[in-house]
A = this chain, B = another copy of it.
Amino acid sequence: MKAEILSIGTELLLGTITDTNASWLAQRLADLGIDLFYVSQVGDNLGRLAESLRRAISRSDIVITTGGVGPTEDDLTREAISAVLGEQMAVQPEVEAQLRAFFERRGVRMPERNVKQATLIPSARALSNPIGTAPGWWTQPTQGEFAGKIVVTMPGVPHEMKRMWTEEVEPALGKLSGGGLIYSINAKVVGVGESTVEESLGDLIHSDNPTLATYAKQDGVHVRVTAKASTREQAERLTKEMVERVQAIFGSAIYGYNDDTLEQALVTLLISRKLTLATMESVTGGLVAHNLTNVPGASDCFLSGLVSYSPAMKVKAGVPQAVIDEYGVVSEQCALAMATVARAYTGAEIGISTTGVAGPSELEGQPVGTVWLGIDYQGERRAVKLYYRSTRPEIKRLAAMAAVNLARLALLKGLGRCY
């Protein structure tokens, strides 16, 4: 099956917004084993929209549109589909009733122009949208020039589109493409590069069902496992069996799945072991604390963070002046002392620290990108040296991730094997 995406909206062509829907859908289509050959963006213009749609339906089996299904005169996706298929739009009483109920639940009267969102053509059925006003269309003409083709029409608002895709479109498409339903899990690996991940997966990467794909993302390398089967339960079982094999390969380098974050993994671990943590940051400038406090419930284990940017402030917080005089602030000794200060200041069981050179210029003769991380775990200590050949924000970002991972691995494997 060949698919094509049409993203609709003049704001895309003015550069006001970036089309993130298309890349999200592209990944989902890849999971389904459906080939995506074209993605196009077109403005809110009936002529150009109909022209693009006609070409898409002619050359592809499935056309997926997002956007242009609002209540205003600019929203012309429904009109374009009707024009291309030569069918007449008509208000559907049951869709209208759902729409009015949506407004009622919010305690407002439905503006009359919204009734336009309750229309259908004979070849289309409505895709429900309980979290927005615009229902989608699943259009599949049974006769005429485009008999058997499918047009899936969804809203442009990302969270409405994603729900509609996952809940309504994907199951229907799964059934079509060989009676299959799919189930995916993203395993998230940290501390290992994408090529090493691929190499470690060995022959698994060539599996047919489930399929495996790797993606280098900001929060690590994702190993996406997707199985297809005749029932969702079977697909889920196949996926989970494969994820267990992936887990066996990477062990604790996998910090979580799907929407899990690295910080969440550490917070969960700390809370389950009734341990508390404190930070003392220099090179990361507060980013470790910020990332940890992004996790709801972080207050149960994260006691306090110190951001001591200058040597004087490090000494004021408790780092011995002698350490700085003898070894400098970008040193193993300073990282260790800072981790201990973080613990001492708060009484936490674990202290982690970061120090280094974020740039723009070198420091103490050490090049930009040099980072020392320290950990003090109930008095046992370890420091790790890292080097990132990158920009200031990237050095901060990577060092902050590494610091959190250091604490996570220390809890899982002990200080001797945490790096």
Contacts and interface: CB of A to CB of B under 8 A. Distances in A.
A131 interface: no
A249 interface: no
Given A41-B22, A309-B303, A296 B14 contact: no
B37 A26 contact: no
Contacts of A28: 15
Contacts of A307: 279, 286, 289, 293, 304-307
B285 A293 contact: yes
A307 B40 CA distance: 47
Interface in A44-82: 45, 48, 52
B19 A15 contact: no
Interface string A189-232: 00000000000000000000000000100000000000000000
A220 to B, nearest CB: 15
A361 to B, nearest CB: 9
**How many copies of this chain are found per oligomer?**
2
A183 to B, nearest CB: 18
Contact of A392 (B39, B52, B296): B296
Contacts of A288: 286
Interface residues of A, number: 65
A103 B313 CA distance: 45
A43 interface: yes
Nearest to A291: B286
Contacts of A16: 23, 27, 215
A137 interface: no
A15 B4 CA distance: 13
Contacts of A163: none
B305 A298 contact: no
A293 B304 contact: no
A292 B285 contact: yes
Interface in A5-33: 12-20, 22-30
Nearest to A52: B38
Contacts of A286: 281, 286-290, 292-293, 305, 307
Interface of A: 12-20, 22-30, 36-43, 45, 48, 52, 215, 279, 281, 284-290, 292-294, 296, 298-299, 302-310, 313, 316-317, 345-346, 358-360, 392-393, 396
